[in-house]
Structure 1
Amino acid sequence: MRVVPVLVAMIVLLAGCSSPEPPGPAASSPGAAAPRPRVVAYFTDWGDFPVRNVDKSGAAARLTHLVYAFGKVTGGGCTAGDPWADFEKPIAASDSVDGAADPPGQPLRGNFGQLRKLKQRHPKLRLLWSFGGWTGSKGFAEAAKDPAGFARSCAALLRDPRWAGLFDGVDVDWEYPNACGLACDDSGRDALAGLLSALRAELGPDALVSAAVPADRDKLTATDYAAAARSATWLSAMTYDFFGTGDTPGPTAPHSPLTAYPGIPRETATTDAAVRELIGLGVPGEKVLLGVGFYGRGWTGVTTAAPGGRASGAAAGSHEKGIEDYDVLRSTCPPTGTAGGTAYALCRGQWWSYDTPETIRTKMAYARSTGLAGAFAWELSGDTPDARLVTAMADGLAG
């Protein structure tokens, strides 16, 4: 399927129109109900955002899938990323999904114990365990030398008796196969496809097998993503972080534009361009998820409201420079304009770009109009206490 470039104004008009969900990994039979659009979000094992918040906020009721980040890839196989946070830490009643503290001696505690309670409350919610990530991708090079062994290790970990049945599949977050991320990889164009094919063979046809994929053209062409898609339930396009405060002293630019806008530093650095590139490489649109960031990127020392201004450096953030959660920015630096289908804000010399419920609904209309499988978010702790961004995703995909 080819994607025709879509103007933001046209997308907004489409927002009120329903579009049928494309078939999933297997084609739907004639007359069968269209699959529900996938509303996916990552949950991280660090920070102070407990599993309880996924339920309390209402996000769990709107999500179709939750992806737990991150497990490690060590010695060519899947291992737990943080055993204390994952399944050892006793959870107090105040942080528990059901309000009950973990009793002494309980065999499964930590996030996994809470995720089990979450699934009991929301039996339709499916869980994946993600391995890798920006700082954890180096181990994939060794795993690619023995894909079957990697898959066996992942399956054995998912089937550990302490949490057997909790996870419905595996997400591979390799940044980036046969390209450079934090480190460079030369495993070859077929390495990712080999890992996903082995996971599919080991976990079976009903398991979820997904992979996070880049949005940069050079990285996309370095790997055979069409082959990878054949074994995957979906590929998650990381259509954010196109621009950031590593580019100081500017020019300022939205980090996750949907489409190009006048003055954009690189016209191909957009969600639309990445989606068109993936589909042009042979990845079916019905296996692509559009990525949304629940955070903003910002500069300081800015005097120009529109994108393209100069800056003196990265703006201060709650956790690191140049990055801030949407839940913080919506009140500390509310939007003053939009560009390329996303929002930006100038306040007290700081310039931030981020998605809002309104711009997310526009992006979801784009996902529907281009026949994508749905969307995913990185990551839940940046949302509001009442899950306004997840709600915008779910409502926007529903049409």
Structure 2
Amino acid sequence: MSTAPPRRIPLFRRLAATAAALALPVAGLIGLAGPAQAAASATATYTKVSDWGTGFEGKWTVKNTGTSALSSWTVEWDYPAGTQVTSAWDATVTSSGTHWTAKNVGWNGTLAPGATVSFGFNGSGPGAPSGCKVNGGSCEGGTTPTDNPPSAPGTPTVSGLTENALTLSWPAATDDKGVKNYDVYRNGTKLTTVTGTTHGDSGLTKGTTYTYTVTARDTADQTGPSSAPLSVTTPGGGTDPGPGPDPGARVKLGYFTDWGVYQRNYHVKNLVTSGTAAKITHINYAFGNVQNGKCTIGDSYADYDKAYTADQSVDGVADTWDQPLRGNFNQLRKLKAKYPNIKVVYSFGGWTWSGGFGQAAQNPAAFAQSCYDLVEDPRWADVFDGIDIDWEYPNACGLSCDTSGAAAFKNLMSALRAKFGSANLVTAAISADGSNGGKLDLADYAGAAPYVDFYNVMTYDFFGAWDAKGPTAPHSLLTSYTGIPIAGFNSEAAITKLKGKGIPGSKLNLGIGFYGRGWTGVTQDAPGGTATGPAPGTYEQGIEDYKVLKTSCPTTGTVAGTAYAKCGSNWWSYDTPATIAGKMTWLKNQGLKGAFFWEFSGDTAGGELANAIHTGLQ
């Protein structure tokens, strides 16, 4: 048997090429319409979608108000000094001083009469746009809008809660021209528009958790940022099945690796002794392989053959030579007996084994059948509660490059949902490349979203010592910062881009790394330093577990929501309980489903990082 792990990481081993590509203008842009034509044929409307204090998301919507098709569009505006665009999607955005220009990309320039198109961007600073022009004319055909969108309404509260109904109330938003109405969202989907500050919701299911947010619209029909989310669980639905977290709570998911039982000596029982099992909701078991268009076993010995002694076993009972199931699968069965609320999901692919998905995508139904037959094998059918697809990456490059097309991922997830049905979880780990034209733009993640219970957005491994000479940069940064090597490579940009594609926050989990990435030969403490190569690590150069780094190289600073450390000539970045607490607050403010992490064995013996996630999501 082999003990070499099928590695998930690194995820972004193409940074220099990407940076160069992002610096180039989009080819094939059609010439702009003349001002005389444009002034009478197009309008542009600005919306501030969200504001998280250190940055914001903006959106422009261009509408063809004429009687003939537009072949291209350009939107221009001014920002006051100190406000700027940091990343953008669905348009090519450039600046000259405080003047900003956005031009259509190759596929969205043509607009039929009455049609609209939107592009979005992330920004920093407090200013509002002014002097808007579209194709050389005023954005409103004469008067440039100067009013700001409304503020966020206050956090909703609930009253009159029953098994199938409730009443929401919220503090009013404010606006310089007046609030016209409010849009009410449940689990990320718009429910209704109301003129007051209350709404009665009915037809709910007992014992079910729902998340509500509210946005305000002003008299100019501008939409302000969302309120903070309210999560409420309807009563009923049976009694508590036993110890463990509430299954209706936010997702707190960790990856358990089959190869961890070897050199790392990390076993399912460690989830109990560390106290982690009582603080998680899901386990992704990694990894199953993808071969010849089918799901296959990853490591049969670790998965279902390894015999556990009594002291290694979850329940203190040793395996026998003739029992039908041993290994990790049997230990997970025993764990679920102690913690019935934990869901165990079988994850397939990963960094090393994603090369088989291209062939699988040629016959999604056959692939789904093979996965179902393996996950629901009678020997361990009770162990698993669904399937996770970790395809790195659809229609893009990871360890190898896939050319199956933008629709392949959607087709695969649709087939899996059809086969596994609504009683099983169907999830996927996806890229966090928020750059313009990056991995999130190359596959139809929005089209696949209806078929998944949630996406695990891999918001780590943005930067690392595969760029041996640096610059040093945090691998799991939450937001952008001055000097970031590649725009769009941060958690906030990825989540914002996915939301902009129509995927609700209630289907997105934020990723946390229980490890650090580092360089050696570094002389400066702050990010942006040069290096000579990867720092030494226990199992691999350039990477080290948190449980080691917390004492061997304590943090010396924080940037963009994560921590970094310099010890001697080594420079590391990693998350700590404190930075995780900040990320959990951000996650909740964004209305996300929850958090997940890679992976259990990087935590301390007392599970302090898992506890930080648990505490932060209470």
TM (norm. structure 2) is 0.61
**Against the structure 1 CA distance between its residues 108 and 153, is the aligned structure 2 distance closer, same or farther, given a 3 Å change threshold?**
same
Structure 2 CA distance for partners of 1:212 and 1:297, relative to 1, 3 Å: same
Q: 1:83 aligns with which of 286, 296, 300?
A: 300
Judge conservation of contact 1:39–1:394 (CA < 8 Å) in 2: yes
The equivalent residue for 2:17 is none
- C-alpha displacement at 1:255, in angstroms? 0.5
Which ranges in structure 1 are unaligned for 5 or more consecutive residues? 11-16
Bigger relative contact order, structure 1 or 2, given CA contacts below 8 A and separation 6+? 1
Superposed CA offset, 1:82-102 (max 9, x none) = 111000111122221112211
* 1:6 equivalent in structure 2: 52
Confirm whether residue 310 of structure 1 aligns to residue 530 of structure 2.
yes
Counterpart contact for 1:287–1:373, Cα < 8 Å: yes
Partner in structure 1 of residue 59 of structure 2: none
**Could you list the per-position Cα deviations for residues 315-335 of structure 1 after superposition, in whole angstroms to 9, with x for gaps in the alignment?**
000000000000000010011
Out of 59, 67, 79, the residue aligned to residue 284 of structure 2 is 67
Alpha-carbon distance change, 314 to 287 in structure 1, aligned in 2, over 3 angstroms: same
* Partner residue in 2 for 1:191: 408
Q: Tell me the residue number matched to 1:238.
A: 458
The runs of 5 or more residues in structure 2 that have no matched partner are 1-46, 57-153, 158-184, 192-202, 210-231, 233-247
Q: Which residue of 2 aligns with 1:29?
A: 204
* 3-state SS, counterpart of residue 179 of structure 1: coil
Q: Distance in 1 between matches of 2:553 and 2:156?
A: 35
1:42-79 Cα distance to aligned partner (Å, 9 max, x none) = 10000321111011111111100000000011121111
- After TM superposition, the structure 1 = structure 2 runs for residues 337-356 of structure 1, keeping only pairs within 5 Å, are 337-356=557-576
User: Which residue of 33, 39, 44 maps to 2:257?
Assistant: 44
CA–CA distance in 2 between the matches of 1:30 and 1:377? 30
Quote the offset at 1:247 in angstroms: 1.2
2:487 aligned residue = 267
- 8 Å CA contact 1:2–1:276 kept in 2: the answer is no
**Distance (Å, rounded) in 1 between the aligned partners of 2:506 and 2:527:** 33
Q: Map 1:243-262 to 2 at 5 A.
A: 243-262=463-482
Q: Which amino acid aligns with 2:551?
A: S
User: For the Cα contact (< 8 Å) 1:39–1:376, is it kept in 2?
Assistant: yes
Amino acid aligned to 1:122: Y
* TM-score w.r.t. length of structure 1: 0.94
Structure with the larger strand share: 2
Does residue 1:331 correspond to 2:548, yes or no? no
Q: What fraction of aligned residue pairs are identical, expressed as a percent?
A: 53
Paired position in structure 2 for 1:13: none
Amino acid at match of 1:46: W
Instruction: Return closer, same or farther for 1:211/1:88 CA change in 2, 3 Å cut-off.
Output: same
- Equivalent AA in structure 1 for residue 348 of structure 2: F
1:167 aligns with 2:384: yes
Match of 1:383 in 2: 603
Task: Output the CA distance in 1 between the equivalents of 2:254 and 2:54.
Answer: 24
Structure 1 residues 131 and 295 mapped into 2: Cα distance closer, same or farther (>3 Å)?
same
The one-letter code of the counterpart of 1:200 is R
* CA positional deviation for 1:308: 0.9
**Counterpart residue number, 1:147:** 364
Residue 326 of structure 2, aligned match among 109, 114, 122: 109
Q: Among 295, 301, 319, which residue is 2:515 paired with?
A: 295
Q: Which moved more, 1:336-345 or 1:189-198?
A: 189-198
- Which amino acid in the other structure matches residue 460 of structure 2? Y
Q: Is the 8 A contact 1:295 1:324 kept in 2?
A: yes
Contact 1:3 1:370 in 2 (8 A): no
Aligned to 1:14: none
* Residues 99-147 of structure 1 deviation map (CA, whole Å, 9 limit, x = unaligned): 2211121110000010000000000000100000000001111111111
Deviation at 1:7, TM superposition (A): 3.6
Cα distance, 1:24 vs. partner?
A: 8.4
Q: Work out the CA distance in 1 between the residues paired with 2:589 and 2:392.
A: 29
- Is the 1:22–1:373 contact (alpha carbons within 8 Å) kept by the matching residues of 2? no
Structure 1 residues 88 and 247: alpha-carbon distance in aligned structure 2, compared to 1, 3 A threshold: same
Distance in 1 (CA, whole Å) between partners of 2:190 and 2:306 is: 40
Task: Tell me how far apart the structure 2 counterparts of residues 330 and 206 of structure 1 sit (CA, whole Å).
Answer: 41
Indicate the SS of the match to 1:156: helix
- 8 Å CA contact retained: 2:517, 2:572: yes
1:265 and 1:292, CA in 2 relative to 1: closer, same or farther beyond 3 A? same
Question: Match of 2:512, SS?
Answer: strand
Q: More deviation in 353-362 or 255-264?
A: 255-264
For 1:58, give the aligned amino acid. G
- Name the structure where helix makes up a greater proportion of residues: 1
Q: Displacement of 1:313 after TM fit?
A: 1.0
The letter for the 2-side match of 1:331 is: T
Distance of 1:99 and 1:196 partners within structure 2: 39
Distance 1:349 1:52 in 2: 37
